[in-house]
Amino acid sequence: MLNGYFRLTERGTTLRTEVVAGLTTFLTMAYIIFVNPEILSAAGMDKGAVFVATCLAAAISTAIMGLYANYPIALAPGMGLNAYFAFTVVGQLGHPWQVALGAVFVSGILFMVISVLPIREWVINSIPRSQKLAIAAGIGFFLGIIALKSAGVVVDHPATLVTVGNLTEPTLLLAAAGFVVIVALDHRKVPGAIIIGILLVTVVGILLGLSPPPAGVIDVPPSLAPTFLQLDIPGALGIGLVTIVFSFLLVDLFDNAGTLVGLAHRAGFIDKEGKVPRLRQVLVSDSGAAMLGSVLGTSTTTSYIESAAGINAGGRTGVTALVVAVLFVLALVFAPIATAIPAYATAPAILFVACIMARSLVDFEWDDVTDYVPAIVTALAMPFTFSIATGIGLGFIAYALIKIVSGRLRDATPAVLVLAAVFIVKFAIG
């Protein structure tokens, strides 16, 4: 039955291979069940409820991807988008987290519409490649400064805005050691390098008396009630939330497109014409995940590039995704551990993910100053304004103006010019 539905033989795989691939993927992305509650708790959300929402959103979305699209791709709340949700939309702009969840839901609806209609391809093709790469790198820098702040490496300063913290602080030293361990384990291709680093730092911190031990190892999952169906959709439809919804949509759109193409290529799914089979099913699964996550009580749920680990292990069908989904459900009983993870233990994991995302800098067109300068503006503006949306806006404005003044108007597509004008108006009226 499994072979007939998932076409195991046709894709050159076996049930055992798919199970091993699913376990491998889960180990590489399981860090999110510890990191996401820590980040969203900064927005005032209940940590236990977010833990449950994270596990359920990942499990259900990944199962849908496996059953509907038959792809070995796992989904979970996306890094970067969760930081934007907590620190910018809620922390900086002052919107309630319920409204932020509503914005995630609306962006999911728009993503669904774009996925079903041919709009998606037009939007993606209209945005300059350099800006797509800059958004990824900028989110990496944004995560980086959050990680350094959580670890205590950087602190605020009245004269210079930021300065170095107390480098002899035990928690900072532990975070630094955890970062080194994660990088070393990843270099050695150890599955679950990130989660091993998080747990190691946590255990050492507990032994040194730097943080309290968990109440237990396994227990009944916390209540989902504090976040379930708490999204405020009417509030998210306000005029002031337009750019926030757009930011959620744009980042999810490009992140998903890049992840999908990369994973499909690695799995050998792309045909001779460069097309991805069952593309609509994949995109519908992904856009539905964003809406599902917001209903449960978490930020945008999206496809994970860590699925490449399972694909490298031989995963080629939706069975891999189903195994990941089951493991996320089983993870629900480890709530005592997840809620006891301190910020200094998740900081090295966030910094490592930041470094991975910043790798897109290498693909800039460094020979074209009118191309890479606006991209750098985008990437730098995100961490220094503490806003992904502001970074995207300033980057589009810089790109449009530089191309126009340089006599390269043909490089600026109508979509870019329109977006630049929209952001100018947005920044002008506040």
The sign one gets for the Cα dihedral 288, 83, 183, 338 is negative
* Spatial distance between the Cα atoms of 179 and 317, rounded to a whole number of angstroms: 33
Question: What are the distances in angstroms from CA 170 to CA 204, 306, 345, 347?
Answer: 11, 31, 12, 14
pLDDT, tens digit, for every residue of 360-416?
Answer: 788 888 888 998 999 999 889 988 887 777 888 899 899 999 999 998 888 888 878
pLDDT band at 266 (very low <50, low <70, confident <90, very high): low
Strand partners of residue 76 = 302
The whole-number pLDDT of residue 230 equals 92
Encoded tokens for 389: 């949306």
| Residue (of 298, 289, 250) closest to 416 by Cα position | 250
**Which stretches within 333-387 are classed as H helix?**
335-338, 343-357, 369-385
Helices and strands (DSSP H and E) totals, the chain: 20, 4
What's the whole-number mean pLDDT along residues 21-41?
Answer: 86
The whole-number pLDDT of residue 262 equals 60
- pTM listed for this prediction: 0.75
The whole-number pLDDT of residue 45 equals 94
pLDDT, tens digit, for every residue of 56-75?
Answer: 999 999 999 999 988 888 99
* Spatial distance between the Cα atoms of 94 and 77, rounded to a whole number of angstroms: 22
pLDDT, tens digit, for every residue of 115-129?
Answer: 777 776 666 667 787
Please check the confidence at residue 21 and state whether its pLDDT lies above 60. Answer: yes
Cβ-Cβ contacts under 8 Å for 174 (sequence gap 6 or more): 201, 204, 205, 208, 210, 344, 345
* Spatial distance between the Cα atoms of 119 and 129, rounded to a whole number of angstroms: 18
Please check the confidence at residue 272 and state whether its pLDDT lies above 70. Answer: no
